[in-house]
Amino acid sequence: MKKNTFSLIDNRTGKNYEYPILDATRGPSVLDMRTFFKDSDMFTYDPGFTSTASCTSEITFIDGAKGELRYRGIPIEELALNHSYLETCYLLMTGELPDKDTLRDFDLEIRHRAFLHEGLRHLFAVFPDNAHPMATLSAAVTALSTFFDDHETCQDEAGYQEMARRIISKIPTIAAFAYRHSLGIPFIQPDIDLGFTENFLTMMRAYPGGKMHLCANGHETIKEVEIRALDTIFTLHADHEQNASTTVVRGVASTGAHPYVAISSGISALWGRAHGGANESVIAQLEMIGSVENVETFIQRAKDPNDDFRLMGFGHRVYKNFDPRAKILKNLQDELREELHLDNELMSIARKIEEIALSDDYFISRKLYPNIDFYTGIILTALQIPKTMFTPIFVIGRTVGWITQWIEFKKESSSKIARPRQLYKGN
């Protein structure tokens, strides 16, 4: 028997199968089962991929038991506290944090690429008023692929980087246009004098042709503290290894489709409330609960096995101790409490839920802790962002992760089309 292998015995026949163990640089080792079907004429069964590594990756590392998240080896705390979202994008895409000059050039390029083709602007007009911005966003990103139909010919590093930089720059413009269309108000073009995050907030809020803002909280310009809070939220969402939407992006990539179509599919996958849509659902749920006195009733509902009500913003497939992104946002909430007027009824309900759930055996025994989405909604509400835009904001942050994972997939020589099998139980 070879060392660093794993043996499986078929107890029906006594036949022994041996598979190589692939060691990770960090985290659990992986059993290489690629020849299992050929060897045994059986499939492995793992719905929801709870025990399956679907690829090799060098981008993001999570230790769910320790509550650890790293992009390219750098802890998320270090990035969120000491680096901007754009620095984080550069890190994810290239593996290195940029130096001062590189960051200046990268930032300038991102600003200049933020404009949309005039033809694409007209697409928004076909959607009804009140169209959810996630639907418009997904459609517009698919449409973007028709304006940049060069992916078959740009299969080198420069071509991949071009695809990535373009989509990272344009996604805030598309999201802001989707929002303004949902209100029936004119679009605001990107302003190349503004950085990534301030530009997005301006495209959301500004009156056409002026510096007054549509829904600012009693002030006319965007505050520095608001830019910092949103920039941190983008950084915390930038990548999260093989989550549901990234798995969708890689799956579409495996068919050879255009990267923006893959990202559009990722946007659709993210929309669900078990994934990125949870941030919108958290605030909707807090509003439904309505007051601190009602919290206990809803906690009981969440614990009832016969009720499908779940506490939104609680639980995670990978984090079983705490979500480090949630911890950073909780600290940010405390820090910004006064400046962003966070002391309101929704905040009190959220605190009550947190307090009860963290001491209740149902949640403790199932290792259900508040996740990132539990805290983003409160901060985004304070930034005057309506709840339908919460998941689009997740999209803006995550686009760099999706496109970086797409590039990694394209460069991996052993990449194959995603084609799982099934346990057939039909007639």
CB of 213 to ligand CMC, least distance (A): 29
Which residues between 125 and 154 bind ligand CMC (CB under 6 A)? none
Of residues 198 and 239, the one with the C-beta less far from ligand CMC: 239
- Token reading at 205: 């809020």
CB of 186 to ligand CMC, least distance (A): 33
CB of 296 to ligand CMC, least distance (A): 15
Give the ranges where 188-223 is alpha helix by DSSP (H): 196-205
- Token reading at 365: 């025994």
Of residues 33 and 368, the one with the C-beta less far from ligand CMC: 368
CB of 281 to ligand CMC, least distance (A): 7
Buried b (16+ CB within 10 A) or exposed e, 356-387: ebeeeeebeeeebbbbbbbbbbbbbbbbbbbb
Of residues 141 and 368, the one with the C-beta less far from ligand CMC: 368
Contact with ligand CMC (CB under 6 A) among 136, 138, 197, 243:
243
Helix (H) or strand (E) holding 407: helix 390-411
Q: Cα separation of 192 and 110, whole Å?
A: 9
Of residues 49 and 147, the one with the C-beta less far from ligand CMC: 49
Per-residue interface string for the shown chain with ligand CMC, residues 258-297, x marking contact by CB under 6 A: ----------------xxx-x-------------------
Contact with ligand CMC (CB under 6 A) among 170, 240, 330, 410:
240
Contact with ligand CMC (CB under 6 A) among 26, 337, 366, 421:
366
Of residues 275 and 351, the one with the C-beta less far from ligand CMC: 275
Contact with ligand CMC (CB under 6 A) among 368, 379, 400, 407:
368
Contact with ligand CMC (CB under 6 A) among 316, 330, 398, 410:
316
Instruction: Look at strands 15-22 and 30-31 and give their pairing.
Output: antiparallel
State how far the alpha carbon of 426 is from the alpha carbons of 123, 397, 421, 423, in Å: 43, 42, 14, 9
Show Cβ contacts of residue 224 under 8 Å, excluding neighbours closer than 6 positions.
Answer: none
Site size toward ligand CMC, by CB under 6 A: 20
By CB under 6 A, which span of 19-27, 105-113, 140-148, 312-320 interacts with ligand CMC? 312-320
Residue with tokens 């959607």: 127
Handedness of CA 365, 307, 46, 252 (dihedral sign): negative
CB of 372 to ligand CMC, least distance (A): 6
Q: Which of the residues 83, 258, 316, 323 is marked catalytic?
A: 316
Of residues 43 and 309, the one with the C-beta less far from ligand CMC: 309
Contact with ligand CMC (CB under 6 A) among 310, 320, 327, 387:
310
| 241 counts as binding ligand CMC under rule CB under 6 A | no
| 234 counts as binding ligand CMC under rule CB under 6 A | no
Instruction: List the one residue out of 88, 84, 87, 117 whose CA is nearest residue 105.
Output: 87
Contact with ligand CMC (CB under 6 A) among 312, 349, 380, 385:
312
Phi, psi of 119 (to 5 degrees): -60, -35
Instruction: List the one residue out of 283, 268, 303 whose CA is nearest residue 378.
Output: 283
By CB under 6 A, which span of 156-164, 166-174, 191-199, 308-316 interacts with ligand CMC? 308-316
Instruction: List the one residue out of 150, 145, 94 whose CA is nearest residue 117.
Output: 145
Q: Is 149 a catalytic residue?
A: no
Question: Cβ atoms within 10 A of the Cβ of 208, count?
Answer: 10
By CB under 6 A, which span of 10-18, 141-149, 364-372, 382-390 interacts with ligand CMC? 364-372
CB of 83 to ligand CMC, least distance (A): 21
Q: Quick one: CA torsion of 374, 376, 379, 380, rounded to 10 degrees?
A: -130
Q: Is 63 a catalytic residue?
A: no
- Residue 128 CB-half CA count within 13 A: 3
Q: Cα separation of 237 and 259, whole Å?
A: 20
Of residues 126 and 274, the one with the C-beta less far from ligand CMC: 274
Q: Cα separation of 298 and 290, whole Å?
A: 11
CB of 232 to ligand CMC, least distance (A): 16
Residue with tokens 């270090």: 78
| 315 counts as binding ligand CMC under rule CB under 6 A | yes
- Token reading at 121: 């602007």
Q: Which amino acid is at 180?
A: R
Q: Cα separation of 239 and 252, whole Å?
A: 18
CB of 317 to ligand CMC, least distance (A): 4
Q: Which residues are catalytic?
A: 316, 373
Residues in the site for ligand CMC, rule: CB under 6 A? 240, 243, 274-276, 278, 302, 310-317, 366, 368, 371-373
